[in-house]
Amino acid sequence: MFAAIFIPNFSVAAVFRAEPELRMKAVAIFEVKPPPEKITAVSGSAECLGITPTMTKAQAELCSEVTLRPRSALQESVAHAVLLDCAQSFSPCVEDAAADTAILDLAGMESLFGAGPEIARAIHGRAGELGLDANVAVATNPDAAVIAARRFAGVTVIPSGKEAEQLGPLPVEVLFAGWQEEAADDLLSTLERWGIRNLRGLAALPEVALSERLGQQGLRLQQLARGAASRTLVPVEEPAVFEEAVELEYPVVLLEPLAFLLNRMLEQICARLASRSLATQELRLTLELEDFQSHNQQSEINNQKFQSAIGNCKSTISSRSNQFCRTLRLPLPMLDAKLFLKLLQLDLNAHPPGAPIVKIHLAAEPARLRLAQGGLFVPPTPEPEKLELTLARIASLVGQERVGSVEMLDTHRAEGFRMKRFVVGAAHETIRKKDFARDSKKERVTTAALRIFRPPLGAVVTLENGTPTRVICPKKKEVQGTVLWKAGPWRSSGDWWEREAWSRDEWDVALQSAEGVALYRLVHDLLNGVWFVEGTYD
Partner 1 sequence: MSSAVISTTAAQGRFFVLDAETQADVCTGEASSVGGVCPAGTQRSALSSQPALDRARIIQATINNQQSKILASVAPASRLEVCPAPEMVSSGIAAIDALTGGLPRGCLTEIYGPASSGRTTLLLAALSAATHRGEVCAVVDAGDALDPQSAADAGVDLDRMLWVRCGTINSPRRHRGTEEKNHKNKNALRHPEHSLEQLLRAADLLLESGGFGLIALDLADLLPQIARRIPLTTWFRFRRAVEHMPTVLLAMERQSIAGSCSSLLIKLRVQEIDANQAAKRRQNAAHSLPRACRGGVSRGSTIQNNESAPEGQKKPTHAQLLTEIEITAEVVRSRMKRKPARSAEIIFTSQTAWTG
For residue 400, give the DSSP letter.
G
Nearer to partner 1, 70 or 354 (CB): 354
Cα distances from 345 to residues 356, 396, 533, in angstroms, run: 16, 11, 42
Q: How far is the CB of 398 from partner 1 (least distance, A)?
A: 5
Nearer to partner 1, 211 or 396 (CB): 396
Nearer to partner 1, 89 or 315 (CB): 315
Nearer to partner 1, 28 or 518 (CB): 518
Nearer to partner 1, 74 or 450 (CB): 450
Q: How far is the CB of 476 from partner 1 (least distance, A)?
A: 10
Count of alpha carbons within 13 angstroms of residue 293, beta-carbon side: 1
What is the rounded CA–CA span in Å between residue 381 and residue 51? 60
Cα distances from 331 to residues 308, 313, 387, in angstroms, run: 15, 12, 10
Q: How far is the CB of 525 from partner 1 (least distance, A)?
A: 13
Nearer to partner 1, 371 or 397 (CB): 397
Residues pairing with 287 in the sheet = 324, 360
Residue 480 contacts by C-beta under 8 Å, 6 or more apart in sequence? 471, 472, 473, 511
Q: Do the Cβ atoms of 251 and 324 come closer than 8 Å?
A: no
Nearer to partner 1, 303 or 447 (CB): 447
Cα 67 to chain center, whole Å?
A: 30
What is the rounded CA–CA span in Å between residue 44 and residue 47? 5
Q: How far is the CB of 342 from partner 1 (least distance, A)?
A: 12
* Neighbour-count burial of 367, counting CB atoms closer than 10 A to its CB (0-12 exposed, 13-18 middle, 19+ buried): middle
Cα 438 to chain center, whole Å?
A: 44
Residue type, 11: S
Nearer to partner 1, 53 or 399 (CB): 399
Q: How far is the CB of 325 from partner 1 (least distance, A)?
A: 15
Q: How far is the CB of 522 from partner 1 (least distance, A)?
A: 11
Q: How far is the CB of 514 from partner 1 (least distance, A)?
A: 9
Q: Do the Cβ atoms of 201 and 165 come closer than 8 Å?
A: no
Q: How far is the CB of 532 from partner 1 (least distance, A)?
A: 12
Q: How far is the CB of 365 from partner 1 (least distance, A)?
A: 23
Residue type, 521: R
Helices 10-18 and 73-88, axial angle in degrees (round to 10) = 90
Nearest to 204 by CA among 228, 226, 187, 224: 226
Q: How far is the CB of 332 from partner 1 (least distance, A)?
A: 14
DSSP string for residues in 451-487: EEEEEEEEEEEEEETTEEEEEE-TT-TTSEEEEEEEE
Residue type, 457: L
What is the rounded CA–CA span in Å between residue 31 and residue 352? 34
Nearer to partner 1, 40 or 396 (CB): 396
Nearer to partner 1, 213 or 475 (CB): 475
